[in-house]
Amino acid sequence: MKVTLYTDGAARGNPDGPGGYGAVLQFVDKEGTLHEKELSAGYVKTTNNRMELMAAIAGLEALNRPCEVELYSDSRYLVDAFNQKWIDGWVKHGWNRPKSGPVKNSDLWKRLLKAMEPHVVTFFWVKGHDGHPENERCDRLATAAADGSGLLTDTGLEA
């Protein structure tokens, strides 16, 4: 099954304020019908990078069977970690960067790798706030979640 996943994260007052993520899953069934699912959640205190990762995680964790996933994000942090193979070095070095110490957000990187396991995921970068319809939609979901009520606690937030 081929799935397209669009993601975005947002944080107000990064890194000391609320944040949220938005994700949109899309697939076309055998009859040519487009199916979509929106995901979002907000957090009391977090960072933009953590929300970018959470959007990808939430989208991949929502899939209930192995899929071919095209993941679109405006986060170079997320996309380049895979396309530039940074993640391979982080794993190889036990989640440490030789010159600058521990990899930030390793809890979420590990969760993302676990969520990717049953799937074949290809990452694509899109320019943010540039009129890309699905990226703008994800941004609206992320900011609405950050500004909403019932915010969650980001238990893995590193000081």
HEC letters along the chain: CEEEEEEEEEECCCCCCCEEEEEEEEEECCCCCEEEEEEEEEECCCCHHHHHHHHHHHHHHCCCCCCEEEEEECCHHHHHHHHCCHHHHHHHCCCEECCCEECCCHHHHHHHHHHHCCCEEEEEECCCCCCCHHHHHHHHHHHHHHHCCCCECCCCCCC
Please say if 107 is a catalytic residue.
Answer: no
- Tell me whether residue 155 is in a domain: no
Selected catalytic residue, list 19, 74, 119, 134: 74
Selected catalytic residue, list 36, 68, 93, 129: 129
Number of domains, the chain: 1
Please say if 8 is a catalytic residue.
Answer: yes
CATH number of the domain encompassing residue 111: 3.30.420.10
pLDDT at res. 14 = 78
**Which tokens go with 138?**
């994800």
- Tell me whether residue 26 is in a domain: yes
Mean per-residue pLDDT pooled into runs of 10, the chain (159 residues): 97 89 97 97 96 98 98 98 96 90 95 98 93 94 97 85
Q: What gap in Å lies between CA 24 and CA 69, rounded to an integer?
A: 12
Q: What gap in Å lies between CA 58 and CA 61, rounded to an integer?
A: 5
Q: Are the C-beta atoms of residues 116 and 56 closer than 8 Å to each other?
A: no
Please say if 70 is a catalytic residue.
Answer: no
pLDDT at res. 159 = 47
pLDDT at res. 158 = 65
Please say if 9 is a catalytic residue.
Answer: yes
pLDDT at res. 45 = 95
- Tell me whether residue 153 is in a domain: no
Query: Annotated binding residues for Mg(2+), as ranges?
Result: 8, 52, 74, 139
Query: Annotated binding residues, as ranges?
Result: 8, 52, 74, 139
Selected catalytic residue, list 8, 19, 20, 59: 8
Selected catalytic residue, list 19, 22, 42, 52: 52
Q: Which domain, by its residues, includes 14?
A: 2-147
